[in-house]
Amino acid sequence: MSRYIELHPANPQTRLVDKIVAVLEEGGLIAYPTDSGYALACAPRNKEGMDRIRAIRQLDSKHNFTFVCADFAQAGPLAIVGNNAFRLIKRLTPGPWTFILKGTKEVPRMTLNPKKHTLGVRIPDHTIAQALVSGFDAPILSSTFIRPGRTEPESSGWQIEDTLGHLIDVVVEGPVGSTEPTTVVDLTDDAPEVVREGSGDVSLL
C-alpha cells in the first residue's frame, strides 16, 4: 500500500514535502495534485518509474513524458525553444499548459519520444506542485493521471489511494485547480499546434 500524505493547499508543510521528495529520490512513484487534475511522477532517470506510469496508464513508447518545472529557468536547458515559442511560454506560464518541444542533449534519451526526440514541458500554477518541484530542486518527470478509457484526470487523492494505492508509493492529498487536463500545444515548429484542448484557454494562443 502507498503512503497517504495530506499537504496544506496554501502552505505545504516542509517536513512532509521533504518526505515525498525523498521517495522520488529513492526511485519511488507519486501521485500529486496540480492545476489540471492529478499527475503521476518519478525522478527523470528512473526507468522503472517510467515503466510503472506506462503500465498504470496503459501508454505506449510514443507517449511524451512531461518535465514539470518550477519556472522557465529550469525548463530552458531541457528543450530547444525558438523565439516565438519562448514568448508564448513566458506569456502563458505558470498555468495549465503542456508544451511539446525538441529535447536537448542534456535530457536522458529514455525520456524522449523515440522517433521525434520530443518531450513535454510544464510550469504549473499550483502551490503543492511547485513545492514538490522546488523541494526536489530539479524538474520531475510527470504524466497526467488519466485512467485507461477515460478522458478526464483523477481529481481526488483519497479515491486514488482507495482504488490504486497499491500501485503507487505516495499519494499526495490536496485540491486540484481544475478537473480538466492541461491543454497540450506542439511547439516543435515554433508555431503553436493544439494537440489536446483542456483547461488552458486556446483563445490565448
Could you report the per-residue pLDDT of 57-79, keeping only the tens digit for each? 999 878 889 999 999 999 989 99
Which pLDDT score, from 0 to 100, does residue 62 have? Answer: 81
Cα(195)–Cα(48) distance, integer angstroms: 27
Cα(54)–Cα(6) distance, integer angstroms: 25
The strand pairing partners of 103, in sequence order, are: 79
Which pLDDT score, from 0 to 100, does residue 1 have? Answer: 57
Could you report the per-residue pLDDT of 173-182, keeping only the tens digit for each? 999 999 999 9
Question: Topology of 3-198 in CATH?
Answer: DHBP synthase (3.90.870)
Could you report the per-residue pLDDT of 15-31, keeping only the tens digit for each? 999 999 999 999 999 99
Whole-structure pTM value: 0.95
Low-confidence ranges of the chain (pLDDT < 50): none
Which pLDDT score, from 0 to 100, does residue 31 have? Answer: 98
Is-contact 20 42, C-beta < 8 A?
no
Cα(49)–Cα(133) distance, integer angstroms: 17
Residue-range domain boundaries for the chain: 3-198
Residues contacting 15, CB < 8 A, separation 6+: none
